[in-house]
Amino acid sequence: MAHIIDGKQISQEIRDELKKEVAALAAQGREATLAVIQVGTDPASTVYVNNKKKACAYIGIRSLSYELPEETTEEELLTLIRKLNADDTVNGILVQLPVPGHIREDEIIRTIAPEKDVDGFHPQNVGKLLIGEPGFLPCTPAGVIQLLKRSGIEIAGKHCVVVGRSNIVGKPMAVLMLRENATVTVAHSKTRDLKALCRQADILIVAIGKPRFITAEYVKEGAVVIDVGIHRNEDNKLCGDVLFEEVSPHASAITPVPGGVGPMTIAMLMDNCVESMRNANA
């Protein structure tokens, strides 16, 4: 039976470590501020944004909240970002995605100062990740690495199959696993015989955005399975990309949904905010 990787507990450990560090920095008169911007009122985004603000409050990071109307123009949003870039009291800037269709997401991401880009989405941070220079790491893939390491799972030399190639998860996930000396294969919707490929994985990381897609047939006996997906099923219950009940008896370790990767994303965002604070005051 698989070890269930407890993302809630591991994320709590990280939050508590950060809380201590922030208190120590505060004692030296150093403070961190995260600006959180939401455009429109998408309910899922509102939940994420509120959770981020709550995590800030717990750790001792000040959060500034900008709730902008759906009809905000791109120029208005860019003007706000430029103002926050120039504000020395702001360490981190986060624009919750997706933004409404009339706003270009890539233009928003490029305008956030790379040294305040706590999401790790700016091309400069993406480039640094690729060549192994220090920079902000995207939160979800960084969270997966922490889940593996803090669960005592060896990565070096393992065959890792990443299913999904998005800029936010799949691509940076593959690079981070490579950095940890895994042998990495990236699979996607055009991959031939996905099942056979996934069955070769020692560590299978799934971010394809299809509810309960990965069945036991995709999983080698004893593999580690990390589920990045999050969906609501017909009964409005949360589920992932992996059919958990069927896969878990075959895995050596597996993340549940909810309570797996999800809580780690926010913990790593907080880590990036503290990192920004360390850098700004160093």
Report the catalytic residues.
Answer: 52, 96, 119
Which residue number, 147 or 201, has a Cβ lying nearer to ligand GUN?
Answer: 147
Unique residue bearing structure tokens 């593999």: 223
Kindly calculate the radius of gyration of the chain based on its CA atoms and give it in whole angstroms. Answer: 19
Size of the site for ligand GUN (CB under 6 A): 7
- Looking at the Cβ atoms of 97 and 178, the one nearer to ligand GUN is 97
**Rule CB under 6 A: which of 55-94 touch ligand GUN?**
94
Of 97 and 197, CB closest to ligand GUN:
97
Residues 118-127: contacts with CB within 8 Å, 24+ apart?
A: 118/34, 118/91, 118/92, 118/93, 118/94, 118/269, 118/272, 118/273, 118/276, 119/94, 119/269, 119/272, 120/172, 120/272, 121/167, 121/168, 126/167, 126/172
Window 124 to 143, contacts with ligand GUN (CB under 6 A)? 139
Residues 171-200 that bind ligand GUN (CB under 6 A): none
Q: Is 146 in the site for ligand GUN (CB under 6 A)?
A: no
Query: Residue 96, interface with ligand GUN (CB under 6 A)?
Result: yes
Q: CB-wise, 166 or 252, nearer to ligand GUN? A: 166
Q: Count of alpha carbons within 13 Å of 243, Cβ hemisphere only?
A: 11
Q: Which of residues 252-271 bind ligand GUN (CB under 6 A)?
A: 265
Residues 6+ apart with CB under 8 A from 108: 74, 77, 78, 81, 95, 99
Q: Pick from 181, 97, 188, 77: which is nearest to 140 by CA?
A: 97
Please state the closest distance from residue 151 (CB atom) to ligand GUN, in A.
Answer: 22
Work out which of 64, 68, 78, 97 binds ligand GUN, going by CB under 6 A.
Answer: 97
Residue 46 beta carbon to ligand GUN: minimum distance, rounded to whole angstroms: 12
161 binds ligand GUN (CB under 6 A): no
Candidates 2, 34, 99, 119; binder of ligand GUN (CB under 6 A) is 119
> Shortest distance, CB of residue 51 to ligand GUN, whole angstroms?
11
Sheet containing strand 33-39, edge to edge, reads 62-68, 33-39, 92-95
Residue 239: CB partners within 8 Å, gap ≥ 6? 211, 212, 229, 230, 231, 232, 233, 257
- For ligand GUN, which residue has the nearest CB? 97
Note the residues at the interface with ligand GUN (CB under 6 A): 94-97, 119, 139, 265
